[in-house]
A and B are shown apart, each in its own frame.
Chain A
Amino acid sequence: MDLKETVRLQAKQLTCIRDDRVLFAGLSFELNAGHVLLLEGKNGSGKTSLLRILCGFREPDEGELLWGSDSINDGQYHADMAYVGHLDGVKKELTVFENLKVSLALGVPGRYSILDALTRVNLANYDDVLVQALSAGQKRRLSLARLLITDNKLWILDEPFTSLDKQGIALIETLMIEHCATGGMIVLTSHHDIELHDVVVQRINLS
């Protein structure tokens, strides 16, 4: 457990080249437990590409990523991270509960049970509703509920506030503060200004 407390994410001299265009070069940062990393920059500046590199979907063209002392491609990393991207990653023909059950089976059970997590994101009593009947904001909250039912130290969120209303945004911010308070860390991109009290927010501007 002690070892886990000290785990941190380190990026060393990352470079990303897409279609012969250098999106960023020599990017280094460190993210410690309890901290939030907010990626800023205009459209097309490489925010999502960086997140996908952090997820291991893309290899950085140069540089390396370390999780603790291991490279992210081996060891614990994939069990410790969770990603919510542009796509919700839920099946519209399944019910809310069935979707979360699959996510739970693919991960390590976390602090919340499925029903508790649904209550937490204000989707209580929606558990047997087909996802195709949900609104865009509800789908987003459902995909964020995935983060609660599995035990992941690092959350990687690509524009998590898209299509959420004011209450929804406040709710996600509360969840993020809670996550950081328990030693979690978050990397996110957002066009909204985030308000996270008592949390260290590092900012990287990519443009």
Chain B
Amino acid sequence: MSLSNAFFAIIKRDLVLALRRRSEIANPLLFFVLVITLFPLGIGAQPHLLQAIAPGIIWVSALLAAMLSLDSLFRSDFDDGSLEQILLSSYPASILVLAKVIAHWLVTGLPLLIIAPLLAVFLGVPSHSLGILLLTLLLGTPVLSLIGAIGVALTVGLRRGGMILSLLVLPLYVPVLIFASNAVEIASTGLPVSAQINILIAILVMAVVLAPWPTAAALKMSIN
């Protein structure tokens, strides 16, 4: 009961904070929209080419937008000492960390999901694969937040952790990218994609269960 209290108190706190500093929501979303709108301009009037690479464009942009937003996950809590207080709580740190990651996904991942169908239509993705695109984003972006959290937790104590963070996290993002963009691509040809979706579900379940532990442990190391 009180653990769930603490869990939801953290989620609520982070959502209120995000609402009061709106740039945190706007930045990754704006980045996502800008990158995707630049592609048609760069490639020119070749709708077939654009349609063919659309899943890749959308997913690579989502992945980079997620990376861009990662640093804000623990940065301010680390700087003002709230992180110490969270880790000192008698509740398991991994659960509280999971709450922070969920709040972070609601703020940075969910908006991508909402805007993605619009951008997909803009790139000429056939309408019957829009559902699959949304499903891959729904399953994939939380994984990006969860895996990213481990990387941020390791680098939050470093002054210039940005470069190391991308080196740490990007290789771990690759499986999600491969299965997700492949699923959307296959779906546009009308073939079944349950295999890819199942693998994405498996990755998500594994990330939810396994990622909070190393994240909490790494945070404890970082505040040392």
Point out residues on A near B: beta carbons under 8 Å: 52, 55-58, 78-79, 81-83, 85-94, 98, 101-103, 105-108, 146
Contacts and interface: CB of A to CB of B under 8 A. Distances in A.
Contacts, number: 74
B20 A107 contact: no
Interface string B42-62: 000000000000000000000
A98 B80 contact: no
Given A89-B81, A93-B20, A98 B13 contact: yes
Nearest to A88: B81
B84 A102 contact: no
Contacts of A101: 9
Contacts of A81: 88
Nearest to B88: A83
A78 B13 contact: no
B103 to A, nearest CB: 12
Contacts of B223: 57
B16, B76, B88, B96 pick with most chain A CB within 10 angstroms = B88
Interface string B84-103: 11111111000010000000
Contact of B80 (A52, A55, A79, A92): A92
A79 B81 contact: no
Given A98-B16, A102-B10, A102-B13, A89 B80 contact: yes
Interface of B: 2, 5-6, 9-10, 13, 16-17, 20-21, 76, 79-82, 84-91, 96, 220, 223-224
Contacts of A79: 90
A55 B89 CA distance: 11
Contacts of B80: 87-92
Contacts of A86: 81
B86 A106 contact: yes
B84 A57 contact: yes
A106 B81 contact: no
A60 B73 CA distance: 29
Nearest to B86: A106
Contacts of A103: 85
Nearest to B87: A57
B16 A106 contact: no
Nearest to A79: B90
B90 A85 contact: no
Given A55-B84, A105-B9, 17 more contacts: A57-B224, A83-B88, A87-B80, A87-B81, A88-B80, A89-B84, A91-B80, A93-B17, A93-B21, A94-B13, A98-B16, A105-B2, A105-B10, A106-B6, A106-B96, A107-B90, A108-B2
A89 B85 contact: yes
Contacts of B20: 93-94
Given A78-B89, A83-B88, A102-B13, A91 B224 contact: no
A8 B191 CA distance: 68
5 nearest CB pairs, A to B: A87-B81, A105-B9, A79-B90, A89-B81, A106-B89
Contacts of A102: 9-10, 13
B48 to A, nearest CB: 48
Contact of A87 (B84, B86, B88): B84
B36 to A, nearest CB: 31
A111 to B, nearest CB: 18
Given A91-B82, A93-B17, A105-B9, A78 B88 contact: yes
